[in-house]
């Protein structure tokens, strides 16, 4: 090479494997699949839990702490000490809904046994309605017009009603739900000038039922309210129908106590 000549520089470009031949998309896809699996797990958990647990899950995603547990910031674990989230098939702790339905079945069995063992109570089954509602376990005891439950315009509870309440009390006492007792009358008015009314009558009947329940197995303090409805919430359209003269006992789902007590929810017919 002469001194005046320029050196020849050969540049070789190394082809990379970027673009659609790279591996970054695999990482992104794996993250996407993981996120979708987490989403489906949450949806499955929500579909398998009762209303109370769904509220706890919702609170957890808002605050990071399950209801009833200590915050991580305050030295706690952030995990509820009472038990695991209630998911069917994965937890031995029954859900609130399961407990209410068990109580419903126990009440039906107790009344059936009472009917079978005492012919004087053979007609009791037609006076009882037991249902699990959105707001809790609702037990309604209705007058059938056969003088088994109430006398007209009287707050005295007939022996059959007292016996029925005595059978219900131990079953309701095993629930950890608050109880409310509601009294209803038909539309029959009191005579003009009477010092009593359907309001006082419905309250007196409900309050006497409370006394029987508390003496027969309901826990002290479990009954949190006695309510008078007079004839304002008839069970059937005929205002004078005997079924409108009734008592209703509601084992309230947790979280609905104040709303049901103060009428902030559309309640089931009670």
pLDDT tens readout for residues 163-191: 999 999 999 999 999 999 999 999 999 88
Are 56 and 102 in a shared domain?
no
In a domain? residue 13: no
**Separation between Cα atoms, residue 157 and residue 171, nearest integer Å:** 20
In a domain? residue 101: yes
Are 123 and 24 in a shared domain?
no
Mean pLDDT score of the chain, rounded to an integer?
79
Of 257 and 95, more confident? 95
Domain boundary among 74, 106, 137: 74
Are 224 and 101 in a shared domain?
yes
Are 250 and 123 in a shared domain?
yes
**Span 80-102, average pLDDT:** 63
In a domain? residue 247: yes
Which DSSP category does 65 fall into? S
Pair type for strands 179-184 and 246-252: antiparallel
Name the pLDDT band for 7 (thresholds 50, 70, 90).
low
User: Which percentage of the chain shows pLDDT scores above 90?
Assistant: 39
Tell me the C-alpha to C-alpha distance, in Å, between residue 57 and each of 15, 68, 79, 99. 52, 12, 11, 20
**Span 219-240, average pLDDT:** 92
Q: What is the pLDDT of residues 109-133, one digit of tens each?
A: 998 888 888 777 777 778 889 999 9
Return the pLDDT at 5: 62
Are 118 and 244 in a shared domain?
yes
In a domain? residue 110: yes
CATH at 122 = 3.30.1330.60
Report the C-alpha dihedral over residues 34, 90, 178, 103, rounded to 10 degrees: 140
The token pair at 92 is 């031995």
Using only C-alpha atoms, the chain has a radius of gyration, in whole angstroms, of 32
Return the pLDDT at 85: 40
Are 134 and 217 in a shared domain?
yes
Phi then psi dihedrals of residue 49, to 5 deg: -110, 160
The token pair at 267 is 């309640």
Name the pLDDT band for 259 (thresholds 50, 70, 90).
low
Structure-token match 């309701």, residue found: 172
Return the pLDDT at 130: 94
In a domain? residue 90: no
pTM for the model stands at 0.64
Query: Do residues 208 and 255 make contact, with C-beta atoms less than 8 angstroms apart?
Result: no
Query: Do residues 112 and 167 make contact, with C-beta atoms less than 8 angstroms apart?
Result: no
For helices 51-63 and 96-117, what crossing angle results, to 10°?
A: 160
Q: What is the pLDDT of residues 137-161, one digit of tens each?
A: 999 999 888 878 888 888 999 998 9
Q: Is 115 helix (H, G, I), strand (E, B) or coil?
A: helix
**Separation between Cα atoms, residue 51 and residue 134, nearest integer Å:** 9
Angle ∠(252,159,149) on CA atoms, nearest 5: 60
Count structural domains, the chain: 2
Pair type for strands 136-142 and 128-133: antiparallel
Closest CA to 52 of 146, 135, 119: 135
Q: Which domain, by its residues, includes 68?
A: 19-74
Are 38 and 165 in a shared domain?
no
Compute CA 226 distance to the chain's CA centroid, rounded to the nearest angstrom: 19
Phi then psi dihedrals of residue 247, to 5 deg: -115, 145
Are 163 and 254 in a shared domain?
yes
Are 182 and 55 in a shared domain?
no
In a domain? residue 269: no
Return the pLDDT at 12: 62
Are 28 and 110 in a shared domain?
no
Return the pLDDT at 126: 81
Structure-token match 């009477």, residue found: 194
In a domain? residue 234: yes
Query: Do residues 248 and 143 make contact, with C-beta atoms less than 8 angstroms apart?
Result: no
Are 66 and 180 in a shared domain?
no
In a domain? residue 5: no
Are 46 and 111 in a shared domain?
no
The token pair at 83 is 């038990």
Phi then psi dihedrals of residue 65, to 5 deg: -130, 135
Query: Do residues 147 and 218 make contact, with C-beta atoms less than 8 angstroms apart?
Result: no
């Amino acid at each position: 090479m002469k001194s005046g000549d320029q050196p020849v520089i050969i540049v070789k470009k190394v082809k990379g494997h970027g673009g659609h031949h790279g591996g970054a998309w695999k990482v992104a896809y794996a993250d996407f699949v993981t996120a979708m699996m987490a989403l489906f797990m949450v949806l499955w958990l929500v579909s398998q839990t009762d209303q109370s647990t769904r509220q706890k899950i919702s609170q957890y995603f808002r605050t990071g702490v399950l209801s009833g547990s200590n915050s991580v910031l305050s030295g706690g674990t952030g995990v509820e000490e009472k038990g695991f989230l209630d998911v069917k098939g994965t937890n031995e702790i029954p859900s609130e809904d399961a407990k209410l339905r068990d109580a419903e079945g126990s009440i039906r069995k107790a009344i059936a046994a009472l009917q079978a063992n005492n012919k004087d109570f053979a007609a009791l089954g037609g006076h009882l309605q037991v249902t699990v509602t959105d707001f809790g376990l609702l037990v309604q005891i209705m007058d059938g017009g056969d003088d088994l439950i109430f006398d007209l315009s009287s707050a005295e509870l007939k022996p059959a009603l007292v016996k029925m309440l005595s059978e219900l009390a131990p079953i309701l006492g095993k629930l950890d739900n608050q109880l409310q007792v509601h009294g209803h009358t038909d539309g029959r008015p009191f005579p003009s000038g009477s010092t009593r009314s359907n309001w006082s009558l419905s309250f007196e009947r409900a309050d006497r039922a409370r006394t029987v329940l508390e003496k027969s197995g309901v826990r002290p303090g479990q009954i949190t309210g006695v309510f008078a409805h007079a004839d304002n919430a008839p069970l059937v359209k005929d205002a004078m129908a005997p079924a409108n003269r009734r008592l209703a006992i509601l084992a309230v789902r947790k979280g609905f106590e104040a709303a049901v007590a103060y009428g902030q929810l559309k309640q089931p017919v009670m």
